[in-house]
Amino acid sequence: MARHLITSAIPYINGIKHLGNLIGSQLPADLFARYQRARGHEVMFLCATDEHGTPAELAAAKAGKPVDEYCREMHAIQLELSNGFRLSFDHFGRSSSPQNHRLTQYFAGRLAEAGLIEEVSEKQVYSNADGRFLPDRYIEGTCPNCGYDKARGDQCENCTIQLNPTDLINPRSAISGSSDLEVRETKHLHLRQSAMKDKLDQWIDEKINQSTFSKLHEGSDSDESRKLLTDPRTMPWPVLTTSIAKKWLHDGDGLQDRGITRDLDWGIPVKKGDQDWPGMEDKVFYVWFDAPIEYIACGGEWAEAHGKTDADWERWWRTDKGADDVRYTQFMGKDNVPFHTLSFPATIMGSGEPWKLVDYIKSFNYLNYDGGQFSTSQGRGVFMDQALAILPADYWRWWLLSHAPENSDSEFTWENFQASVNKDLADVLGNFVSRVTKFCRSKFGEEVPAGGDYGPQEQALIDDLTRRIRAYQAHMDAIEIRKAAGELRAIWVAGNEYLQSAEPWAKFKTDPDAAAAVVRLSLNLIRLYAVLSQPFIPDAAATLMTAMNTDDNSWPDDVEQALSALPAGHGFAVPDVLFRKITDEEREDWQTRFSGTRDG
One digit per residue, the tens of pLDDT, for the chain of length 600 reads 899 999 999 999 998 999 999 999 999 999 999 999 999 999 999 999 999 987 898 889 889 999 999 999 999 999 999 999 999 999 999 999 999 999 999 999 999 999 999 999 988 888 999 888 887 878 999 999 999 998 999 889 888 888 888 899 999 998 889 999 998 888 999 999 999 999 999 999 888 766 555 554 555 556 666 666 678 888 878 889 999 999 999 987 788 999 999 888 899 999 999 999 999 998 999 999 999 999 999 999 999 999 999 999 999 999 999 999 999 999 999 999 999 999 999 999 999 999 999 999 999 999 999 888 877 666 678 999 999 999 999 999 999 999 999 999 999 999 999 999 999 999 999 999 999 999 999 999 999 999 999 999 999 999 999 999 999 999 999 999 999 999 999 999 999 999 999 999 999 999 999 999 999 999 999 999 999 999 999 999 999 999 999 999 999 999 999 999 999 999 999 999 999 999 999 999 998 888 755 443
Q: Which helix (H) or strand (E) holds 185?
A: strand 181-191
Residue 259 resides in a domain: yes
Handedness of CA 582, 586, 588, 591 (dihedral sign): negative
User: By three-state DSSP, how is residue 169 classified?
Assistant: strand
Give the residue from 486, 498, 516, 513 showing the smallest Cα distance to 461.
Answer: 498
| 436 and 547 assigned to the same domain | yes
Please give the Cα distance from 513 to 294 (Å, whole number): 61
Boundary residue ending a domain (191, 223, 256): 191
Tell me if 71 is assigned to a ligand binding site: no
pLDDT at 223: 64
Give the span between the Cα atoms of 381 and 374, in whole angstroms.
5
Distance between CA atoms of residues 141 and 154, nearest Å: 11
- The verdict on 447 and 495 lying in the same domain is yes
Nearest CA-CA partner of 8 in 355, 336, 399: 336
* Count of alpha carbons within 13 angstroms of residue 558, beta-carbon side: 4
DSSP class of residue 173 equals: E
**Cα–Cα distance, 545 to 570 (Å, whole number):** 13
357 and 248 belong to one structural domain: yes
Distance of CA 100 to the CA centre of its chain: 21
Q: Are residues 420 and 497 in the same domain?
A: yes
Helix then strand then coil, % of the chain, to nearest 5: 50, 15, 30
Inside any domain, residue 592: no
d(CA 401, CA 30): 11
The letter for the amino acid at 36 is Q
Is there a binding annotation on residue 159? yes
Asked whether the beta carbons of 185 and 177 are under 8 A apart, the reply is: no
Distance separating alpha carbons of residues 75 and 15, to the nearest angstrom: 9
Last residue of a domain, one of 364, 384, 399: 364
47 marked as part of a ligand binding site = no
Q: Look at residue 391 and tell me if it is in a domain.
A: no
- Measure the CA angle with vertex 20, ends 17 and 23; round to 5°: 100
Inter-CA distances, 198 with 193, 203, 228, 344, 422, Å:
10, 9, 26, 15, 52
- Positions of E strands within 250-350: 258-259, 261-262, 271-272, 275-276, 284-285, 326-333
- Assess if residue 381 is contained within a domain: no
DSSP class of residue 522? Answer: H
Torsions phi, psi of 232, nearest 5?
A: -55, -20
138: in domain: yes
* Residues 232 and 304 occupy one common structural domain: yes
Q: Are strands 258-259 and 181-191 parallel, antiparallel or unpaired?
A: antiparallel
* Cβ(71)–Cβ(60) below 8 Å: yes
If asked whether residues 28 and 110 sit together in one domain, one would say yes
261 is in an annotated binding site: no
Domain that holds residue 307: 3-115+192-364
- The last residue of a domain, from among 191, 211, 230: 191
Task: State the Cα–Cα distance between residues 240 and 336, nearest whole angstrom.
Answer: 12
- Shared domain for 60 and 160, answered yes or no, is no
**CB neighbours (10 Å) of residue 595?**
11
Q: Which residues pair with 140 in a beta bridge?
A: 152, 172
User: Could you tell me if residue 383 is inside a domain?
Assistant: no
Same domain, 551 and 493: yes
Helix axes 98-113, 287-305, angle to 10 degrees: 130
Answer yes or no: is 471 within a domain: yes
Indicate whether 279 and 421 sit together in one domain: no
Report whether 146 belongs to an annotated binding site: yes
What pLDDT score was predicted for residue 254?
A: 83
Q: What CA–CA distance (Å, rounded) separates 108 from 274?
A: 10
Residues 202 and 178 in one domain: no
Question: Which pLDDT score, from 0 to 100, does residue 600 have?
Answer: 38
CATH number at residue 177: 2.170.220.10
104 & 249 share domain: yes
Residue 147 in domain? yes
Model pLDDT, residue 224: 64
Give how far the C-alpha of residue 369 lies from the chain's centroid of Cα atoms, to the nearest Å. Answer: 18
* Contact criterion met (CB below 8 Å) for 346 and 196: yes
Supply the CATH number for residue 344's domain.
Answer: 3.40.50.620
How many other C-beta atoms lie within 10 A of the C-beta of residue 65?
Answer: 15
Domain count, the chain: 3
Q: Are residues 136 and 79 in the same domain?
A: no
CATH code at 508? Answer: 1.10.730.10
Which residue type does 73 have? E
Closest to 258 (Cα-Cα) out of 285, 278, 296: 285
pLDDT for res 229: 66
